[in-house]
């Protein structure tokens, strides 16, 4: 960094400290993690009082906006199990290969995954549109494997090869990791399409809160996925033994229908991951938020934690700004840099 840039950054820091010193400090409440990150700076570096921070107990969290800006992070890049939040990536990758009307068949392997289920049976078939509801509303592990195997079969066919259900699913998981690299997820590795992480499924998978927020933001930009991730309940039709059968699906997320603007939600839980949730809020004010909480203290608490992140964002967005970065002023003449810095200080005051 040259002397001129150092002078500008130093002046910016001194002025900001002076401005913050003039602000009244409210009484502290709850516990505060001084390592929590607010727009690239820690709470300690910003000298934020406790009542200017979200109060929640999840061990890892991320709050991202529509531009991909990480407004808040707690251990947001730390490797963690994410359980069924994995299914967000499953939906993203499958949407690259399957149309809404593509028929998905439930193989014996998919029907027998176990744990969280959409109630699918071996031999059932349904459209990919309905399979997405089974995946994202009911969090069906059976739906996750059926979708992965259908899309994986297409991947192998494009390569001029084929394989059984396990080979098709393996091809799909490889595509999940390729998509993770494409999205810039530097702290994620996927080993299956459903997120189970124990016994035979303890395969070294991991992700982090910030990566899940990026995944959800990407998923919400896909029309078909966005249309199927916001149901608190839904009915789907499967063909079973030659006749249509209706399956009623329920979402365990408590934000949908109760928190203003909640428009997407995916929950997860395993013993290793603890209660976790990823959700989106859009109140039509030009801003969208994506909140991820991992390792909350209970299943109900994950929704309280998510709401706390959103409440904090709406209360503080206008008064919080990221520090001036080198790329913000790179290539600007001296006068332009001064003007940019002054405008940065004046914004929000």
- Answer for the pair 94, 147: CB distance below 8 angstroms, yes or no: yes
End-to-end CA distance of the chain: 29
Q: What is the DSSP letter of 207?
A: B
Enzyme catalytic residues: 84, 87, 139
179 labeled part of a ligand binding site: no
Length of the chain: 349
Cα 24 to Cα 7, 17, 52, 193, 242: the distances in Å are 28, 13, 12, 50, 70
Distances 10 to 5, 15, 39, 42, 55 between C-alpha atoms, Å: 8, 9, 19, 18, 32
Query: Environment class of residue 244 by beta-carbon count within 10 Å: exposed (0-12), middle (13-18) or buried (19+)?
Result: exposed
Phi/psi of residue 292, nearest 5 degrees: -130, 130
| CB neighbour list of residue 304: distance below 8 Å, 6 or more residues apart | 56, 296
- What is the bridge-based pairing of β-strands 288-294 and 233-240? unpaired
3-state secondary structure of 264: strand
Distance, in Å, from the CA atom of 48 to the CA atom of 20, rounded to the nearest integer, reads 9
Rounded to whole angstroms, the Cα distance separating 160 from 337 reads: 56
CB of 176 closer than 8 Å to CB of 193:
yes
Residue with tokens 């904090």: 312
Task: State the binding site.
Answer: 266
Q: Please state the residue numbers annotated as binding site for substrate.
A: 266
């Amino acid at each position: 960094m040259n002397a001129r840039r150092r002078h500008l950054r130093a002046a910016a820091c001194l002025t900001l400290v002076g401005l913050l010193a003039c602000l009244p400090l409210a009484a502290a409440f709850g516990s505060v993690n001084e390592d929590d990150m607010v727009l690239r700076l820690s709470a300690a570096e910003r000298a934020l009082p406790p009542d200017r921070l979200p109060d929640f107990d999840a061990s890892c969290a991320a709050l991202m906006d529509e531009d991909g800006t990480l407004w808040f992070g707690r251990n947001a890049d730390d490797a963690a199990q994410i359980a069924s939040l994995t299914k967000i990536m499953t939906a993203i990758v499958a949407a690259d290969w399957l149309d809404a009307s593509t028929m998905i068949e439930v193989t014996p392997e998919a029907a027998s995954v176990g744990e969280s289920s959409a109630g699918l049976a071996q031999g059932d078939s349904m459209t990919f549109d309905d399979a997405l509801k089974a995946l994202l509303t009911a969090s069906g592990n059976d739906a996750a494997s059926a979708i992965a195997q259908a899309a994986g079969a297409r991947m192998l066919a494009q390569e001029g090869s084929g394989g059984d259900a396990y080979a098709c699913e393996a091809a799909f998981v490889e595509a999940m990791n390729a998509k993770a690299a494409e999205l810039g997820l530097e702290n994620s590795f996927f080993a299956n399409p459903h997120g189970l992480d124990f016994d035979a499924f303890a395969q070294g998978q991991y992700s982090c809160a910030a990566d899940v927020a990026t995944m959800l933001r990407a998923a919400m930009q896909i029309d078909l996925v966005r249309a199927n991730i916001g149901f608190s309940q839904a009915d789907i039709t499967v063909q079973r033994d030659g006749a249509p059968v209706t399956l009623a699906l329920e979402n365990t997320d408590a934000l949908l229908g109760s928190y203003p603007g909640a428009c997407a939600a995916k929950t997860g839980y395993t013993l290793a991951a603890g209660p976790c949730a990823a959700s989106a809020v859009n109140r039509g004010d030009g801003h969208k938020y994506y909140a991820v909480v991992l390792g909350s203290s209970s299943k109900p608490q994950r929704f309280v934690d998510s709401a706390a992140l959103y409440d904090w964002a709406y209360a503080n967005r206008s008064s919080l700004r990221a520090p001036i970065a080198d790329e913000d002023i790179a290539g600007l003449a001296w006068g332009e840099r001064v003007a940019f810095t002054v405008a940065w200080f004046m914004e929000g005051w």
